[in-house]
Chain A
Amino acid sequence: EAQVTQNPRYLITVTGKKLTVTCSQNMNHEYMSWYRQDPGLGLRQIYYSMNVEVTDKGDVPEGYKVSRKEKRNFPLILESPSPNQTSLYFCASGQGLKQPQHFGDGTRLSIL
């Protein structure tokens, strides 16, 4: 089954404790991206990757890092999480930027 898998689905943690949200897709997609969704602000892109070893900043990259060492994986790293990063996060992948995107189920992060 074609899918984008994010883990964990839910996480409550404390300020400053590094965390990684994993994202994996099994569709051989080149384009992958991370979004955060907050009430009233909609989906905002954090980082995206056009292909392996190619990543770039989206609209709200501050406080986040990503890597794309393999085509299927695109982890999101919060080196020192802060409460303003409490949000619902989605990973997505697509054949390309101009193609429909497939989203993971989402990760709900709470930073205390």
Chain B
Amino acid sequence: RKEVEQDPGPFNVPEGATVAFNCTYSNSASQSFFWYRQDCRKEPKLLMSVYSSGNEDGRFTAQLNRASQYISLLIRDSKLSDSATYLCVAETGTASKLTFGTGTRLQVTL
């Protein structure tokens, strides 16, 4: 089982739609989680950190479910500019490293 798993997509949604991605992690010792956004062939950029209590930043909401070992990202009112690959990241504390998922591709269309 991969340490961090994501559905690769693509998720094709119309502008204005709400879309959600899940990401599962295998290491129950993981403590820090992040969502990054990556545009084609560019560097990943932090979208948001994921806190235990969940957090919201504008149209984006991130949730953590420790019992089921997954994190989620919800995007409301999708914009064309949201089209990108979304990377889930878990910190595996005992190994002192970050593990990236392979990403979920989102395509928002008119």
Q: Which residues of A contact B (CB under 8 A)?
A: 33, 35, 40-45, 48, 50, 56, 58-59, 88, 90, 97-98, 100-106
The answer for the CA separation of A102 and B36 in the assembled complex, in Å, is: 10
Q: Are B97 and A88 in contact (CB under 8 A)?
A: no
* B98 near A33: Cβ-Cβ < 8 Å: yes
A104 to B44, CA, bound (A): 9
Are A45's CB and B97's CB within 8 A?
A: yes
Partner of B97, one of A41, A42, A58, A104: A58
Task: Give the complex CA separation of A47 and B93 in angstroms.
Answer: 16
For A88, the chain B residues whose CB sits under 8 A away are 41
A94 to chain B, nearest CB (A): 9
Task: Return the contact of A100 from the options B31, B34, B42, B87 (Cβ within 8 A).
Answer: B34
Contact A42 B34 (CB under 8 A): no
Distance in Å: Cβ of B54 to nearest Cβ of chain A: 18
Given contacts A41-B102, A42-B102, contact A97 B96 (CB under 8 A): yes
Contact of B32 among A33, A98, A104 (CB under 8 A): A98
Q: Would you call B91 an interface residue if the criterion is a C-beta within 8 Å of the partner chain's C-beta atoms?
A: yes
Give bound CA distance, A50 to B96, whole Å.
9
Residues of A close to B44: CB separation below 8 A: 43, 90, 101, 103
| Interface SS of A by simple majority | strand
Instruction: Point out the residue from A50, A90, A98, A101 that lies within 8 Å of B31, measured CB to CB.
Output: A98
B26-43 CB contact bits vs A (8 Å, 1 = yes)?
Answer: 000001101000000111
Question: Could you say which residues of chain A place their CB within 8 Å of the CB of B32?
Answer: 97-98
B103 to chain A, nearest CB (A): 6
Contact between B101 and A48, CB atoms less than 8 A apart: no
Q: Name 20 interchain pairs, CB-CB below 8 A, sorted by A.
A: A42-B87, A42-B102, A43-B87, A43-B100, A50-B96, A56-B96, A58-B97, A90-B43, A97-B91, A98-B31, A98-B91, A100-B46, A100-B49, A101-B46, A101-B98, A103-B43, A103-B45, A104-B43, A105-B43, A106-B41
Of chain A, the residue at the smallest CB distance from B33 is: A98
Q: What is the CA–CA distance of A43 and B45 in the complex, to the nearest angstrom?
A: 13
Q: Render B83-102 as a binary contact track against A, CB cut-off 8 A, 1 for contact.
A: 00001000101001111111
